[in-house]
Structure 1
């Protein structure tokens, strides 16, 4: 994406969360391009200290933060000791945003990724999880994506779900999805895609499609409404 178009997407009401899973300066820089507020989620503060980055906020129960990071960022720590929610949930609650791009959550421990996905579905927060290979979000009721033919489009239901589509190699119209019956992984775009969905469905795209996903989650969708489940 040209720099001028990328700059137009920057919104200072957007934030980048950095978790404790391994990540890179490059990935953080990509997220900050669109979401300039920087928030460390507990052990993510260790990553930012190592990379020479200073967060606007550090949130968590602080059981994974190093003494060095705790000292360096002492003036911006929000310590929440309760154990009834994850550090990811604490960060979303403490620092709400119109859009959150979260790095350092995809990869490493699978249980941390699953808990982040559960929190996104529970809170309905507008979050994009960004990893080296994938970007993931909870589908809004309708979404339009300006994809090129051959782009991988995977759908993973968190419960009963169904909907309609245009621009997919294998249309989803009339299909009933659930985690134990039918999923929609490894579909492909044939061009621009429109999805209309009922139920909780994850959308998984290649990480390189982040700019288009950032646009899509903010833009009025095209296409017909989803069918009832």
Structure 2
């Protein structure tokens, strides 16, 4: 396990180099007050008038002007090229919650890489905030308070099974896989939704307006055991 460079008792807002509106940043920082940049996310933070508490990455896309403005003790190089800056940053953050902004944008490969990062580190409670939706890796069990008819999509990044209560289309009896059955465009049938999965690898996608419900649910959810091959993250 990689030793963390950044620790916070409440939460961390992780900023990427993609499109970032001021509303996104305010939304995240109000819930996760420490600002950390993944590489060129530092450019986005400085442009918003915020000095990052830490910058993690290989520094191949951050501007030279921003590098000159950053205190040396806030720079945490992670030069390995076998992982994205998103994953390298998550690996080096220890916090009960990470809200990731600036990671969704025009490039499809970048978006897929971020989704890969979520399931690669399923015990790092990270929620990616997009323009309309949020996404996070499902824990073994999850109880959500939502509204009937809310959309709830599930996308498997590996072969797995699950069960559910409170969804319009139950998960029981289905074998999910990225090249077979997926669970997009499901919807909420009752205010309390319960789901469980037999292994890590399921992405949960909710409307952006349900961010606080997702935060509350993840805070109460169990972690995947290390024996499942997931990268365990201490509470």
Q: CA deviation at 1:95?
A: 2.3
The question of 1:38 aligning with 2:22 is answered: no
* 1:9-44, Cα deviation, whole Å (9 max, x unpaired): xx8431110001101111111111111111011111
Match of 1:197 in 2: 197
The question of 1:165 aligning with 2:167 is answered: no
- Listed as ranges, the matches of 1:1-229 within 5 Å are 12-75=9-72, 76-124=74-122, 125-191=124-190, 192-199=192-199, 200-220=201-221
Contact kept in structure 1, 2:119 and 2:137, CA below 8 Å: yes
Q: CA deviation at 1:99?
A: 1.7
Contact kept in structure 2, 1:16 and 1:38, CA below 8 Å: yes
Contact kept in structure 1, 2:9 and 2:95, CA below 8 Å: no
Aligned length: 211
CA–CA separation in structure 1 for the residues paired with 2:144 and 2:91: 29
Contact kept in structure 2, 1:168 and 1:187, CA below 8 Å: yes
**Structure 2 residues not aligned, in runs of 5+:** 1-7, 223-235
Structure 1 residues 220 and 140: CA distance shift in structure 2, 3 A:
closer
Contact kept in structure 2, 1:21 and 1:109, CA below 8 Å: no
Contact kept in structure 2, 1:12 and 1:35, CA below 8 Å: no
Q: CA deviation at 1:96?
A: 2.4
CA–CA separation in structure 1 for the residues paired with 2:205 and 2:167: 14
CA–CA separation in structure 1 for the residues paired with 2:94 and 2:220: 20
Contact kept in structure 1, 2:168 and 2:187, CA below 8 Å: yes
Q: CA deviation at 1:183?
A: 0.6
CA–CA separation in structure 1 for the residues paired with 2:151 and 2:11: 26
* 1:92-131, Cα deviation, whole Å (9 max, x unpaired): 2222222211111122222122222222222222211111
Structure 1 residues 62 and 220: CA distance shift in structure 2, 3 A:
closer
SS at structure 2 position matched to 1:163: strand
CA–CA separation in structure 2 for the residues paired with 1:43 and 1:110: 18
Structure 1 residues 220 and 43: CA distance shift in structure 2, 3 A:
closer
CA–CA separation in structure 2 for the residues paired with 1:111 and 1:96: 27
CA–CA separation in structure 2 for the residues paired with 1:129 and 1:82: 23
After TM superposition, the score normalised by the length of structure 1 is 0.87
CA–CA separation in structure 2 for the residues paired with 1:140 and 1:82: 28
CA–CA separation in structure 2 for the residues paired with 1:63 and 1:25: 25
